[in-house]
Structure 1
Amino acid sequence: MPQPFSKSSYTAQLKAFIAAHHELMQILQALREIEAQAYLAAGVIRNSIWAQLHEQAYPLHQTEIDVVYFDAQENGTGEQQIRNKLETAFPDMLWDVVNQARVHHWYRMDNGNSIAPFSSLAQALAVWPETATAVAVQLDASGQLKIIAPLGLQDLFELKLRWNPAMVSYAVFQRRLNDKAFLTRWPELQLISS
């Protein structure tokens, strides 16, 4: 079984991991130039850490890479502009760019109801389906890595797959487990039922 990262400081370890990851740093540097407020988030961070803990390669080519930002003043065109620039810079990668300030315009709960607008990027991440997915990383103007992880980093580094009931049902979580094959891909993951 792979050894989890030390509990001393998951934040410091995430920063060190990303700083040593050439491709992620290239993307973060380009992203800073394209949209200074944008973050890499979700699967690309989660999967990179879980692959490392399983001593597996995780190539970013042909991988969906989530980019998130928060701009309540934007009219809805920014996502496509950022995506176009990223596709030009990194044509072998698949980009999912979302302004979390606009999610309430299109996202629907299981019952069909719309959601209230988020007030921040951290609030948006806090309702993502799995605790280990609610992580975003940015390279700021001074070259420092900035992390938003409203649900913490413990589950990510301790290989715990835990449902976050803040917005999605357990049925949605189960569909994601099957669709993404988390437990097959990373057999050391522990499915946490509570």
Structure 2
Amino acid sequence: MTLDPRAQLPLDEQAAALRAALSENATLLAVLERAASLELSGLYVTAGAVFQTVWNVVSGRPAEAGIKDYDVFYHDGTDLSWDAEDEVIRRAGEVFGDLGVAVEVRNEARVHLWYEARFGIPCPPFRSSEDAIDHFAATTCCVGVRAERSGAWRVYAPHGLGDVFGMVVRPNPLLAPRAVYEAKAERWSREWPRLRVLPWPEHG
């Protein structure tokens, strides 16, 4: 597979290329704009809706193909009750309800309360939405975007954007178990056959 030239751009140019690629997904643009209206602390649109849009653009597919939901992270440690998060989710349902896609809004300050029951290992409390993004199962997934009032986009990408444009899936063994990474990589490879999936490190 020929490497997409955007994978080797300087980081500032990659950020501009990311915005151009994501702008091809009209649903993502609507989610970004409407998410900003929720005025949630530490807000990012992140996960598959972001990196999979780029994969689609690089692959020449429709920008929204294969994207099963749109994830919105926020971080509010002032109230860790389910009721407080549920109130935000209900409000978000009114904001996104007519888009015809699943928009998952979650308070990342609460993840440690349910993570072990779901995945079998404990999760430390996340200090911020950025901290939560840092712990995705693959470094390639660690990208978050939000629209600022100025019209600029804030992009958080601790591992850069080269792998995203290069369609490389790289493990991130900080938290998620190996089985989670491999299951996700297998599912993604069926949808995007051009992906190059790197193996989980045997040393841990």
How does the TM-score come out when normalised to structure 2?
0.82
2:122 counterpart of 1:114:
yes
1:141–1:114 Cα change, 3 Å: same
**Correspondences of 1:116-135 after superposition (within 5 Å):** 116-135=124-143
Show the counterpart of 1:172.
180
Q: Does 1:51 align with 2:59?
A: no
Q: Give distance in 1, aligned partners of 2:106 and 2:159.
A: 20
CA contact (8 A) 1:46 1:156 kept: yes
* Aligned match for 1:149, one of 139, 153, 157: 157
- 107-116 vs 36-45, which deviates more? 107-116
In 1: Cα distance, 2:170 partner to 2:129 partner:
21
Unaligned runs of 5+ in 1: none
What aligned pairs does 1:90-101 form with structure 2 within 5 A after superposition? 90-91=96-97, 92-101=100-109
- Aligned positions, number: 192
Q: Does 1:30 align with 2:38?
A: no
SS at match of 1:85: helix
8 A Cα contact 1:109 1:115, kept in partner: no
8 Å CA contact retained: 1:50, 1:186: yes
Determine helix, strand or coil for the equivalent of 2:116.
coil
Give a deviation string over 1:146-174, Cα, whole Å, max 9, x none.
Answer: 01112221211110011111112222211
Aligned equivalent of 1:88: 94
Quick check: 1:28–1:138 contact (8 Å CA) kept in 2? Answer: yes
Q: Structure 1 pair 109/135, CA: closer, same or farther in 2 (3 Å)?
A: farther
Question: What is the CA–CA distance in structure 2 between the aligned matches of 1:75 and 1:121, rounded to whole Å?
Answer: 15
From the two aligned structures, give the one with the greater helix fraction.
Answer: 2
- Give the alignment partner of residue 18 of structure 1, picking from 15, 22, 28: 22
Structure 2 CA distance for aligned equivalents of residues 2 and 24 of structure 1 = 27
- Cα offset, 1:90, TM superposition: 3.3
What is the CA-CA distance between 1:5 and the residue it aligns to? 4.2
Structure 2 unmatched ranges of 5 or more: none
Structure 1 residue 61: Cα displacement: 10
How far residue 95 of structure 1 moved from its aligned partner, in angstroms, is 2.0
CA distance in 1, matches of 2:89, 2:60: 31
Residue 128 of structure 1 deviates from its aligned partner by 0.5
- Is 2:74–2:129's contact at 8 Å kept on the other side of the alignment? yes
Shift of 1:113: 4.1
Secondary structure of 2:20's match? helix
Change (3 A) 1:62 1:148: closer
Match of 1:4 in 2: 4
1:46 Cα offset (Å): 1.3
- Aligned-residue sequence identity (percent) comes to 26
Structure 2 Cα separation of the partners of residues 134 and 24 of structure 1: 17
For residues 102-140 of structure 1, give each alpha carbon's deviation from its aligned partner in whole angstroms, at most 9, with x where no partner exists.
Answer: 111111189844222111221111111011111111001
Give the direction of change, closer, same or farther, for the CA distance of 1:151–1:109 in structure 2 (3 Å limit).
farther
